[in-house]
């Protein structure tokens, strides 16, 4: 089949010029990439990024997977939450379009023939992590009067018919 070229460069930026120009057919990328904290989430371990790049109809086609663990706070009780994220990647980038674009523009995942794998991974992960992290779907949160964690038992405060005068009361649709 195709010629496989294994990219094990220490650089996060990969020259895809030969690929798009037809010199070879695949580039395999297997890298650990450190992600910066994002919206209150931290990534304690580098993301495992495994991608196959190939040229298709003048486009750069990127398939593969990204796996990373993220940590954050439960939106309701502020307890620590650790989750794993698995992403199936299927992206198509247009090298011709990226060549026309402002090289100092915001989206520079592909700048000319240089693919910034770290930036790509960061953008994909940040758009995939869920908003509103909860420790469990029916986390009871903190008492709005005394601040006690209601998952750990009832506090001394007496709610009046469940009305806690707050907007934070969320019915669990599963019940
Ligand atoms: Zn919680
Ligand atoms: Zn209370």
DSSP 151: G
Span 108-122, pLDDT tens digits: 788 877 899 999 999
Radius of gyration (C-alpha) of the chain in whole angstroms = 22
Residues 87, 62 contacting (CB under 8 angstroms): no
| Sign of the CA dihedral running 91, 48, 52, 112 | positive
Q: How far is the CA of 81 from the centre of ligand 1 (A)?
A: 8
Tell me what pLDDT residue 35 has: 95
Contact 48, 67 (CB under 8 A): yes
Q: What is the pLDDT of residues 148-174, one digit of tens each?
A: 999 998 888 876 655 544 445 555 655
Q: How far is the CA of 79 from the centre of ligand 2 (A)?
A: 17
- Distance from C-alpha of 69 to C-alpha of 47, rounded to nearest angstrom: 7
What are the residue ranges in the chain where pLDDT is below 50?
A: 1-2, 8-9, 106, 164-167, 175
Q: How far is CA 9 from CA 2, 5, 66, 91, in A?
A: 21, 11, 18, 22
| Total number of residues shown for the chain | 175
- Parallel/antiparallel/unpaired status of strands 26-33 and 13-15: unpaired
> What is the CA(148)–ligand 2 centre distance, in A?
6
Q: What is the structure's pLDDT at 113?
A: 79
Residues with CB under 5 A from ligand 1 (ion): 74, 76-77, 79, 135, 139
| Sign of the dihedral through C-alpha 81, 87, 92, 98 | positive
Cα–Cα distances (Å) from 136 to 38, 75, 76, 123, in that order, read 21, 10, 10, 26
Ligand nearest to the CA of 155: 2
Q: What is the DSSP string of 16-59?
A: -HHHHTTS-SEEEEEEEE----BTTBB--S-EEEEEEEEEETTE
171 alpha carbon – ligand 1 mean position (Å):
14
pTM of structure: 0.76
Judge contact between 135 and 108, C-beta under 8 A: no
């Amino acid at each position: 089949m195709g010629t496989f070229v294994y990219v094990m460069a220490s650089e996060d930026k990969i020259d895809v010029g030969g690929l798009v120009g037809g010199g070879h057919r695949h580039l395999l990328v297997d890298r650990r990439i450190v992600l910066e904290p994002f919206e209150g989430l931290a990534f304690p371990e580098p993301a495992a990024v495994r991608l196959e790049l190939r040229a298709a109809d003048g486009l750069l086609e990127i398939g593969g997977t990204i796996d990373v663990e993220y940590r954050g706070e439960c939106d309701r009780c502020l307890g620590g939450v650790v989750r794993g994220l698995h992403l199936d990647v299927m992206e198509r980038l247009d090298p011709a379009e990226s060549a026309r674009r402002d090289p100092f523009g915001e989206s520079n995942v592909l700048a000319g023939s240089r693919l910034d794998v770290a930036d790509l991974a960061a953008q994909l992960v940040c758009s995939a992590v869920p908003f509103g992290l909860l420790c469990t779907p029916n986390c009871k949160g903190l008492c709005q009067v005394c601040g006690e964690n209601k998952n750990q038992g009832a506090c001394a405060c007496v709610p009046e018919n469940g009305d806690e005068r707050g907007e934070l009361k969320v019915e669990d649709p599963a019940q």
